[in-house]
Structure 1
């Protein structure tokens, strides 16, 4: 077999250690794992996970069934993965071709891209990701400093002047203009008057 196919088969053999086989007959097996269960048919060379059908390389479930029969998993690989078939594939010559400047001109009309229509609403900032892609992490954005509100009435933290219980209990829902000016430091005290006369 080719070296890369051997690496894939070794990986599948390592993953097959977590499965346990249950023999139905000489060719049919039920492979049970931690959270999955598959059926393998060694005669038809099929597995319910369909990896063996698509690639031709025994999957982890198939390797578990082959080991139950005490056989070599390489015997169940597709014959096109052998070195002999690989050499036959490239035995013929690949003929040279001319560059694009010598290609004949095409008489067909050029295919144009579809007309773009602007969609309604705010455009999305992130692109649509494929199902097998890793989702974008939201930790990449910088977060602002968390503010801890301080009440002007009681001086406590975690609430403001509107939601203060002392203000509601005293009936002063709206603070007067004089209190606001004193909080801002706009009303001059006698010391400020003396400083002005100096």
Structure 2
């Protein structure tokens, strides 16, 4: 934080007001078993719904239901082709960790604790009983870090029945867990003509809707924080920038949407005119 304060004091003051457990990996609880601090997952899902966003409510919900119905089946087919104890992504991640762990050395300290050292003066303490590492990656992600993998290999050298590193991965990465997550199905339903009639005595009519100018919007509404970032980064859209009408010279609209407003008189008008002699 002190380095950030030297770099940008405004950013330091803004970030200091937010509890660190909401933005700093060093203060995450580890309950989610993920160190991702972005909302990429929901943004990806949100992007898949662009096609049905401009549809009426029922049609939009039907679009989402059909998308999820097909998505579950496609994922189930992909799971059927997988082998091994972990998901393909988790297996690849663990293999990369194993390659890094080859350069580390683990020393037993007693009481299930190990001191693990490697290149670039990287040294951490591993507790296999509490399943923690001082780098906190094992605790945050549920995936054994390079220090833990080196420790597991050291334990196996001493004829300890500890299994392979894959058995130390949290169950959220297991292939069995992935199968359970997609074990449910979205059942097909009949068409609208076969739906049961509602017993509600009130007839719901659509709200009054006027024809808007221009192409219908499909992008989601940006939050106030995103708009502030766009303005500070000089990337604001035309909607956020001031527009001057070429017909009436008023600010806030263009000539296409001009309704003939009278231009306000400029300040200081009439000054400097001489009197008729």
- TM-score, structure 2 length as denominator? 0.35
Q: Compare the two structures and name the one with the higher helix fraction.
A: 2
Larger of the two Rg values belongs to structure:
1
- TM-score, structure 1 length as denominator? 0.47
